[in-house]
C-alpha cells in the first residue's frame, strides 16, 4: 500500500446529525482509561466525509425566496421535551428554540370538508363507527389521558391490550415489549395494522389513517415498537430552531472543525475494506479512487446508504450483516413548498394562523407558515408518504415551475417542482380549502425516497427484536472496528434524537469517551 495514504484515528462517514455529532464527540470528548483515542484531543485525527455538498442529511432548511426569514424545512422540523440530547445541545450551543405550532385545522376526507371541531364529531364524520368507537373519538372513556380523535382510538386499543400503558415509563415499555402476548403472539410478531384491525373496525382504522393524512404511522410495522412510539408522542409539545432545524448539525460540524477536525464535502464513500497488515486498520475508499486509512470507522448512514456501500466492503455484505441491515423498511416521503404573494389561508373563515390540515387526497398534509412584512408567505402545500409519494413521482418530470423572486437559493432552484406537480397540488388545495387558490410565486420539493436516503423514516419490521438489533448494529462484527449509528436502527426512528443517542452510544462504548458533563 502507498505510504502516502492519509491516516486517521476515526473516520466518520455521513454528515447528517448522527455523523456530525459522532465527529464532534470523537474530536472533543474526554477519553476514558480504555479509549483507543489519544488522551489529548488536540492530538486526535478525525475526518468527516459527506457525499453531498451540504451538512444536515435529512435535515434541510432553506430560507424561502421572496421571504426574509421563513424557513422551508424539507426534512425534520421539530423536537420534543423528551429529546434529551437534542435539548441539551440546544442549551450548550445557545441555539434559538421557539415553539412549533401543531394545531389541526381542516380535514378533507371522503369528499367532505370538516372544521377543527367536526374532525372529532361522530355525528358529522363520514365513517361508520361503532358506539364504543364514537365514545372514544370524543374522548369520553376515562383513562385516555385527555386524548380525542384518531390518537384516542390508537391509545384506546393500546390500553386494552396493555392496561395502564398510556402512563408507562420507558422501562415499563421495555418490559411490556418482552412479555405482553396479544392474540397468542408477542407484540413484535404482529404489525401495527394487524393489531389495530384486531382492536377496531376497518372504518375506525380508515378514520385514523385519513385524519393523519399519512400511512406510514399506521403501516404494518413492528407493533412492539410502534405502540410506545405512538403513545409516547400523543400529548407532546414541540419546538423548532428559529434559524432552521439543520442549524444543529451545522453547528456540530462547525465546532468539530474549529477543534481541529477535518471535513470533506462532495466526497462519497464507496466501500470500507480491510487494510493490509501492516499497518492494519480499515481503508475507507472514495468515489474519486483515493482511500484513507482509519483505525476506526463510524458509518452514520441510513439503510439505503449502507446497502449502496455494502458490496465489496467488510462486514456489511456477509449474511449476518445483510440480516441486520434488512431489519427495517425505509418509508417514502415527499414535501412540496409553495410561496405566495399573500397568505390566503389567513383570509379564510375562520382564518388559519398556523399548524396543518389533512386529507385522504394524495396531498396528505399541508402546513401554514405565515408571512413576512412586505414579503411573500410560505406554505408546505403537500407532505405525503408511501403510496401518495408514488402519485407525485408520476408528475416529477417536465418543465419546472418558475420562482419569481430574484436570486433564489441554489438548493431551492435545484429542487424546483415541475409545473405539473404545482397545477395538481393547487387543484387539491382548492378541494381541501373550498376557495380558489392564487398562483404561487415559487415552488420547490424534496423526495426522500431517492438515493442515498431510501426514505425519510425507517420502521422496524415485524418479527424483529429491535433492542437486540439496535445493540448489534453499533458494532456489527466484534472483530472489526466498524460502527453504525443513525436513527434508522434506533428506538427513536424518524427522530433526530435517535441519531444522536446511537452516536453517543458509539462515542462511549466504542470510542471510550466518558459521558459528557452537559448531558
Ligand atoms: C420529511 C422528514 C421529516 C422529519 N421530521 C422530523 C422531525 O420533525 N423531528 C426530528 O427530530 N426528526 C425528523 N426527521 C428525521 C431526521 O431527519 C433524522 O432522524 C435524521 O436526519 C437522521 O440523522 P442521521 O445522521 O442518522 O442520517 P441522515 O440525516 O440521513 O444523514 C446521513 C448522511 O450521510 C450522507 N451519505 C450517504 N451515503 C454516503 C456515502 N456513501 N458517503 C458519504 N456520505 C454519505 C448523506 O448525504 C447524509 O448527509 C424527519 C426526516 C424527514 C426526511
Looking from the CA of residue 300, the nearest atom of ligand 1 is 25
Final residue in a domain of this structure, among 207, 233, 259: 233
For residue 373, the model assigns a pLDDT of: 78
User: Quick check: CB of 330 below 6 Å from ligand 1?
Assistant: no
CATH code for position 268: 3.50.50.60
Q: Do residue 363 and residue 462 come from a single domain?
A: no
Number of domains in the chain: 3
Looking from the CA of residue 267, the nearest atom of ligand 1 is 43
427 occurs within a structural domain: yes
Question: Which parts of the chain have pLDDT scores under 70?
Answer: 1-4
Look up residue 399 and give its three cell numbers: 418543465
240 occurs within a structural domain: no
Q: How many residues does the chain have?
A: 519
* Measured distance CA(172)–CA(355) in Å, rounded: 33
* Measured distance CA(13)–CA(261) in Å, rounded: 13
Q: Do residue 67 and residue 22 come from a single domain?
A: no
For residue 144, the model assigns a pLDDT of: 86
Q: Do residue 292 and residue 308 come from a single domain?
A: yes
239 occurs within a structural domain: no
For residue 234, the model assigns a pLDDT of: 78
452 occurs within a structural domain: no
Q: What is the pTM of this model?
A: 0.97
Beta-sheet strands, E only, within 17-124: 46-49, 61-63, 71-73, 97-99, 104-109, 112-114
CB–CB of 195/223 below 8 Å? Answer: yes
DSSP structure string for 443-510: EEEEETTSTTTS-SEEEEPTT--HHHHHHHHTSSSTTS-EEEESGGGSTTTTSHHHHHHHHHHIIIII
Q: Do residue 429 and residue 463 come from a single domain?
A: no
515 occurs within a structural domain: no
Give the N- to C-terminal CA distance of the chain in Å, as an integer.
42
Q: Do residue 80 and residue 122 come from a single domain?
A: no
* Measured distance CA(25)–CA(502) in Å, rounded: 12
Structural domain of 216: 107-233
Q: Do residue 344 and residue 201 come from a single domain?
A: no
For residue 3, the model assigns a pLDDT of: 47
CATH code for position 431: 3.90.660.10
Q: Do residue 159 and residue 222 come from a single domain?
A: yes
Q: Enumerate residues 6+ apart whose C-beta is below 8 A from 237.
A: 80, 81, 99, 102
Burial class (CB in 10 A: 0-12, 13-18, 19+), 121: middle
Q: Enumerate residues 6+ apart whose C-beta is below 8 A from 291.
A: 5, 283, 284, 285
Q: Do residue 111 and residue 229 come from a single domain?
A: yes
For residue 322, the model assigns a pLDDT of: 98
* Measured distance CA(321)–CA(312) in Å, rounded: 13
Final residue in a domain of this structure, among 204, 233, 262: 233
Look up residue 20 and give its three cell numbers: 456530525
CA 337 vs CA 164, 394, 422, 449: distances in Å = 41, 18, 10, 17
HSE, side-chain direction, 13 A CA sphere, residue 302: 29
1 occurs within a structural domain: no
* Measured distance CA(438)–CA(361) in Å, rounded: 20
Q: Do residue 347 and residue 436 come from a single domain?
A: yes
Give the residue, out of 16, 273, 411, with the most ligand 1 atoms within 8 A of its beta carbon, to mutate for a pocket test: 16
User: Quick check: CB of 63 below 6 Å from ligand 1?
Assistant: no
Q: Do residue 366 and residue 310 come from a single domain?
A: no
Q: Do residue 385 and residue 425 come from a single domain?
A: yes
519 occurs within a structural domain: no
Crossing angle of helices 223-233 and 192-199, in 10° steps, is 70
Final residue in a domain of this structure, among 203, 233, 263: 233
* Angle, CA of 497, 503 and 504, to the nearest 5°: 90
Find, among 428, 333, 447, the residue nearest to 381 by Cα: 428
Looking from the CA of residue 485, the nearest atom of ligand 1 is 26
Q: Do residue 325 and residue 471 come from a single domain?
A: yes
For residue 4, the model assigns a pLDDT of: 64
CB–CB of 384/363 below 8 Å? Answer: yes
443 occurs within a structural domain: yes
Give the residue, out of 58, 75, 265, 365, with the most ligand 1 atoms within 8 A of its beta carbon, to mutate for a pocket test: 58
Q: What is the pLDDT of residues 5-29, one digit of tens each?
A: 899 999 999 999 999 999 999 999 9
CATH code for position 228: 1.10.405
Ligand 1 mean position, distance from CA 9 (Å): 24
Amino acid at each position: 500500500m502507498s505510504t502516502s495514504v492519509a491516516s486517521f484515528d476515526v473516520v466518520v462517514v455521513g454528515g447528517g446529525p448522527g455523523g456530525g455529532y459522532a465527529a464532534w464527540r470523537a474530536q472533543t470528548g474526554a477519553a476514558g482509561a480504555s479509549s483507543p483515542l489519544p488522551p489529548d484531543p488536540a492530538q486526535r485525527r478525525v475526518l468527516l466525509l459527506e457525499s453531498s455538498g451540504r451538512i444536515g442529511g435529512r435535515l434541510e432548511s432553506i430560507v424561502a425566496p421572496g421571504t426574509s426569514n421563513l424557513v422551508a424545512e424539507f426534512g425534520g422540523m421539530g423536537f420534543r421535551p423528551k429529546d434529551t440530547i437534542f435539548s441539551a445541545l440546544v442549551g450548550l450551543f445557545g441555539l434559538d428554540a421557539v415553539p412549533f405550532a401543531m394545531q389541526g385545522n381542516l380535514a378533507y376526507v371522503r369528499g367532505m370538508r370538516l372544521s377543527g371541531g367536526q374532525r372529532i364529531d361522530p355525528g358529522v364524520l363520514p365513517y361508520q363507527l361503532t358506539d364504543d368507537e364514537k365514545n372514544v373519538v370524543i374522548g369520553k372513556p376515562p383513562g385516555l389521558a385527555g386524548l380525542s380523535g384518531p390518537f384516542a382510538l390508537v391509545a384506546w386499543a393500546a390500553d386494552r391490550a396493555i392496561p395502564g400503558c398510556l402512563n408507562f415509563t420507558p422501562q415499563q415499555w421495555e418490559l411490556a415489549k418482552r412479555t405482553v402476548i396479544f392474540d397468542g403472539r408477542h407484540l413484535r410478531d404482529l404489525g401495527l395494522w394487524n393489531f389495530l384491525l384486531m382492536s377496531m373496525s376497518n372504518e375506525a382504522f380508515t378514520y385514523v389513517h385519513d385524519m393523519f393524512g399519512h400511512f406510514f404511522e399506521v403501516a404494518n410495522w413492528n407493533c412492539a415498537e410502534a405502540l410506545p412510539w405512538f403513545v409516547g408522542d400523543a400529548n407532546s409539545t414541540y419546538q423548532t430552531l428559529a434559524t432552521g432545524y439543520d442549524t444543529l448539525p451545522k453547528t456540530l460540524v462547525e465546532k468539530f472543525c474549529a477543534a481541529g477536525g477535518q471535513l470533506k464535502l462532495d466526497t462519497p464513500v464507496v466501500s470500507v475494506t480491510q487494510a493490509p497488515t501492516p499497518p492494519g486498520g480499515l481503508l475507507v475508499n472514495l468515489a474519486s479512487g483515493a482511500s484513507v486509512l482509519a483505525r476506526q470507522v463510524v458509518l452514520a448512514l441510513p439503510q439505503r446508504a449502507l446497502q449502496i456501500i455494502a458490496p465489496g466492503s467488510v462486514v456489511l455484505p456477509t449474511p449476518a450483516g445483510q440480516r441486520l441491515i434488512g431489519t427495517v423498511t425505509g418509508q417514502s416521503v415527499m414535501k412540496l413548498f409553495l410561496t405566495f404573494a399573500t397568505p390566503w389561508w389567513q383570509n379564510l373563515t375562520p382564518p388559519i394562523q398556523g399548524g396543518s390540515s389533512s386529507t385522504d387526497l394524495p396531498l396528505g398534509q399541508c402546513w401554514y407558515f405565515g408571512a413576512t412584512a412586505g414579503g411573500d408567505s410560505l406554505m408546505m402545500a403537500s407532505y405525503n408518504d408511501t403510496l401518495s409519494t408514488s402519485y407525485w413521482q408520476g408528475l416529477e418530470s417536465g418543465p419546472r415551475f418558475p420562482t419569481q423572486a430574484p436570486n433564489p437559493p441554489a438548493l431551492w432552484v435545484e429542487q424546483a417542482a415541475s409545473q405539473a406537480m404545482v397545477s395538481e397540488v393547487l387543484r387539491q388545495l382548492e378541494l381541501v380549502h373550498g376557495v380558489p387558490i392564487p398562483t404561487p410565486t415559487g415552488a420547490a420539493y424534496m423526495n426522500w425516497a431517492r438515493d442515498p436516503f431510501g426514505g425519510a423514516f425507517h420502521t422496524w419490521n415485524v418479527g424483529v427484536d429491535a433492542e437486540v438489533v439496535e445493540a448489534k448494529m453499533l458494532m456489527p462484527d466484534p472483530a472489526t472496528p466498524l460502527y453504525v449509528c443513525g436513527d434508522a436502527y434506533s428506538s427513536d426512528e424518524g427522530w433526530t434524537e435517535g441519531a444522536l443517542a446511537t452516536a453517543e452510544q458509539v462515542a462511549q462504548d466504542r470510542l471510550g469517551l466518558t459521558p459528557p458533563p452537559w448531558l
